[in-house]
Amino acid sequence: MLRLEDREAALAALERLLLESWRGFDRARDGQPPISAELRERLARPLPERGVDAVEGLELASRVLDASIEQPRPRYLAYVGSSGLEIGVLGDALMAAHDVNVAVSAGGADLVERQVVRWIGEFVGFGSCGGVTTSGGTLANLTALTAARERAVPGVRRSGIGGRRLALYCSAEAHYSVVRAAEVLGIGSEHVRAIPVGERGAMDPAACVAAIDADRAAGIVPVAVVATAGTTLTGAVDRIDALADVCAPRDVWLHVDGAYGLPAAATETAGALFAGLDRADSATVDAHKWLFVPKACSVLLMRDPQALHATFSHQEAYIPHLEDEEPHAVDQTLEYSRPLRALKLWLAFTVHGAAAIRAAIEGNLRHARLLAQLVTDHPDLELVTEPILSAVCFRHRTADNVRLVAAVQEDARVYLAGAHVDGVACLRACFVNFRTTDDDVATTVDVVAELARAQPPAS
């Protein structure tokens, strides 16, 4: 009874709606359409006992999505969004239709995931590795740091932390997912050492050394140093090579949170910023950020894949373990039900090739430099930070920049985030979309300046 009565009509409708979406994403539109009263009423209705025609349902879903904030649009520059690579969209549909569970042995799907992990390791310069895909950077960081905890305190997964005190070390600008992992792992947020940053927002290696050595002297076990390869706010990249010099002689795990920025390691323009990546124990990349595929797809790279097995493997009657099989993913991750997230990323590299993806990243780096130059040249705007990767923070010299951010988002011809850098309120653009053009960058400056003129000066 749950088969579609007219599959062909439903697929034809879906094809039409997808094409309309993609054509709409090719160019920016003037603002965000409001949610109509009719749509609000429809989405407030109680549970339906009887359904509607599939085509009608798809049409309604498309209207809902069109009235949502859509990250694939070329002038969506807030936060670090996904640009919904078209082949990835199709890959997700195909993956969902087959509904493979990449938890225990899944045949060809297992080979795709392993190949994708190897490809990403090669693409960013991590080198030979194993690893897994996860739903996002938060889970990828948690998975890596769980393995780091097991290596720092062997057997802790079974015995528990008890009275032992553990610590993590990261930049003061690191993503909150590191603190969240510490809370989940029983390390505690109070034992996350926020290491001061120095030049260009990078963690101070000398301060990291001092923190580790002081903790060891106090009987606290260092679990891992987390280097950030592209902070969310400014795109700062920690000095991975210098932090590897800190970790190696102290036998401390070095993890690189590259959720946003690590794909830039593949470029000629920014590659040198990531020197030392091949010395890290683990690294994460959110493919749904700067590798352009739809959410959600993160890749965890592991120097020693056996570290995951030591952390997560288990024997249960409902999970067959055959001697000649590769380890099951369920013995290397926190998840049991695992969609084949790797398929869309595999298709992205298979269909477009690494060179095209690398060129798109280079294009975003160039857009950041272009915006910085346009801001510098504008008499009413000023840079708050020089771009390191593809994030640009800037402000209006006389307007109330907090109110200006709200005005820009309400206007919605471009979509920027608000930020505070060293206490200074500013606007933040981040370029991670293959659809964005030079004209979109220029329009961003024009819209900000226009909306600022309509505001009273800041008091």
The pLDDT assigned to 261 comes to 98
Q: Are 304 and 138 in contact (CB under 8 A)?
A: no
Token pair recorded at residue 257 = 């949170």
pLDDT at residue 459, as a whole number: 63
Rounded (5°) CA angle 287-433-264: 55
At 323 the pLDDT is 62
The whole-angstrom separation of Cα 321 and Cα 318 is 10
Would you tell me the crossing angle of helices 342-377 and 438-453 to the nearest 10 degrees?
50
CA distance 402 to 415: 14
Give the mean pLDDT per block of 10 residues along the chain (459 residues).
93 97 92 92 96 96 93 93 94 96 88 96 96 95 98 96 96 96 97 95 97 98 98 97 98 98 98 98 98 97 94 82 74 90 98 98 98 98 96 97 97 96 96 97 98 84
Res 391: pLDDT: 97
Q: What is the pLDDT of residue 322?
A: 67
Kindly report the three-state secondary structure assignment for every residue of the chain. CCCCCCHHHHHHHHHHHHHHHHHHHCCCCCCCCCCCHHHHHHCCCCCCCCCCCHHHHHHHHHHHHHCCCCCCCCCECCCCCCCCCHHHHHHHHHHHHHCCCCCCCCCHHHHHHHHHHHHHHHHHCCCCCEEEEECCHHHHHHHHHHHHHHHHCCCHHHHCCCCCCEEEEEECCCCHHHHHHHHHCCCCHHHEEEECECHHHCECHHHHHHHHHHHHHCCCEEEEEEEEECCCCCCCECCHHHHHHHHHHHCCEEEEECCCCHHHHHCCCCHHHHCCHHHCCEEEEEHHHHCCCCCCCEEEEECCCHHHHHHHCCCCCCCCCCCCCCCCHHHCCCCCCCCCCHHHHHHHHHHHHHHHHHHHHHHHHHHHHHHHHHHHHCCCEEEEECCCCCEEEEEECCCCHHHHHHHHHHHCCCECEEEEECCEEEEEEECCCCCCCHHHHHHHHHHHHHHHHCCCCCC
For residue 106, what pLDDT is reported? Answer: 84
CA distance 261 to 286: 9
Reading across the β-sheet that carries 282-286, which strands appear in turn?
130-134, 298-302, 282-286, 253-257, 221-228, 166-171, 192-195
Tokens at residue 178, please? 């590191």
d(C-alpha 59, C-alpha 56), whole Å = 5
CA distance 298 to 119: 13
Token pair recorded at residue 97? 């239709």
Q: Alpha carbon of 361 to those of 252, 285, 289: distances in Å?
A: 32, 14, 11
If you compute the radius of gyration of the chain from its CA atoms, what whole number of angstroms results? 24
Integer Cα distance of 110 and 108 in angstroms:
5
